[in-house]
Structure 1
Amino acid sequence: MFEFVVEDEVRLKPLEILHTEQLYTLTELNRSYLKQWLPWVDGTKSADDIKSFIQMTRNQFAANNGLQAGIWYQGKIAGVIGFHGINWANKTTSIGYWLGERYQGKGLMTKSCKAFIEYAFAELKLNRVEIRCAEKNFKSRSIPERLGFAQEGILREAEWLYDRYVDHVVYGLLARKWDKREV
């Protein structure tokens, strides 16, 4: 496993079972905030649910089918970023992410996404990275826009979010278009 130093106070490292309580606490403290855009929040009812998620991420990594990491800021877990899975035949992946509300606005997610994109293209030799965001989740959409992704379309009613469907904006970035921009 790895630990990636994004900058002095920001690190990406794989989730381990020993992080269960910290990640559950972060989820609990941000439950109503996260529920605006993430469909899994209501299904996360206990630390055991987080433990199962962490075990799934470790199995995913062991199967060479993705990578999930905790985003650590000033020594505390601030959120999660990961590849949903890797399509090796087509050399593609998609990135998902979330941050606790108090960690917003510090550039953590843009920098973390940049590190994941660089890893996807330079280390994994993938050709395409995709990010999908709810159409009205402007904070989340600003990440791929800032990083030079092309908006490729809108998937209508792509996700059931508790009491309604939400449209998703699809962003794509190709390895040949990645310029390692400063963020």
Structure 2
Amino acid sequence: MNAFTYQIDDHLAFAFPQLEAAEELLALIESDRSHIEAFIDVMAETKTIEDEKDFIKMKLYGYADGTDYLFFILQGQKICGCIDIHNIDPKIGKGEIGYWLHSSFTKRGIISKSVKALCHLAFNDFGMNKLLICVDVDNAPSNRIAQRCGFTLTSTEPQDALLHGKLRDMNHYTLLKKQFKKGFDE
């Protein structure tokens, strides 16, 4: 993949999204749709290469506006998932992290490393002050990731999100820039 990349470690990197990757990204989603859609409802709207291109374009417009930062997660040169900061409020430097990873790449620390790397970019390069991760209460792996990455559970919101037509309770985790910096200084 010829794209701007941000190296996380010897094998893991972020790639800036490109329309040319739409087919590869859709194939990845299709090969693991039931796993990915377990806690992400919006994937149901992505069925064609054009849908995927529209999604990438929307994220690129958000990047230009400073309201959205999407990266493909690369293991070697292959896309294995995505991570983003969305719902960005530039006035107060706040945004929400979201991610998904193909099931064949889970339990390797990829998302934990990716979240930490994205926090580093957000706080040091994007001028952010506060990051949130909102997780379905039943999504045990993502709850553990938020905790492992230094986020603090600030609330559990009843009926806070719609997933497959049902209202779901969500855990809200927060990380401030000063907490992130302190964690790296210790």
Partner secondary structure for residue 84 of structure 1: strand
- Match for residue 146 of structure 1 among 145, 148, 160: 148
* Percent of matched pairs sharing the same residue: 26
> 1:181 Cα shift?
4.7
* 8 Å CA contact 2:132, 2:173 repeated in 1: yes
* 8 Å CA contact 2:66, 2:90 repeated in 1: no
Q: Specify the alignment match of 1:51 in structure 2.
A: 53
Q: Specify the alignment match of 1:72 in structure 2.
A: 74
Q: Which runs of 5+ in 1 are unaligned?
A: none
Query: For the residues of structure 2 that align with 1:114 and 1:180, how far apart are their CA atoms?
Result: 11
Partner secondary structure for residue 22 of structure 2: helix
Q: Specify the alignment match of 2:38 in structure 1.
A: 36
> 1:90 Cα shift?
1.2
* TM-score for both structures, normalised by structure 2: 0.93
Partner secondary structure for residue 55 of structure 2: helix
Q: Specify the alignment match of 2:127 in structure 1.
A: 125
String of CA shifts for 1:57-98, please: whole Å, max 9, x gaps. 111111122210000002110000001132111111110000
Partner secondary structure for residue 91 of structure 2: coil
Question: Is 1:95 aligned with 2:97?
Answer: yes
Query: For the residues of structure 2 that align with 1:180 and 1:73, how far apart are their CA atoms?
Result: 26
> 1:172 Cα shift?
0.2
Query: For the residues of structure 1 that align with 2:161 and 2:40, how far apart are their CA atoms?
Result: 10
Q: Which runs of 5+ in 2 are unaligned?
A: none
Q: Specify the alignment match of 1:23 in structure 2.
A: 25
- Match for residue 13 of structure 1 among 10, 15, 18: 15
Question: Is 1:134 aligned with 2:136?
Answer: yes
Q: Specify the alignment match of 1:157 in structure 2.
A: 159
* 8 Å CA contact 1:67, 1:85 repeated in 2: no
* 8 Å CA contact 1:150, 1:173 repeated in 2: yes
> 1:153 Cα shift?
0.5
* 8 Å CA contact 1:147, 1:181 repeated in 2: no
Please provide the CA RMSD for this pair: 1.5
> 1:41 Cα shift?
2.1
Q: 1:116 to 1:132 in 2, by over 3 A?
A: same
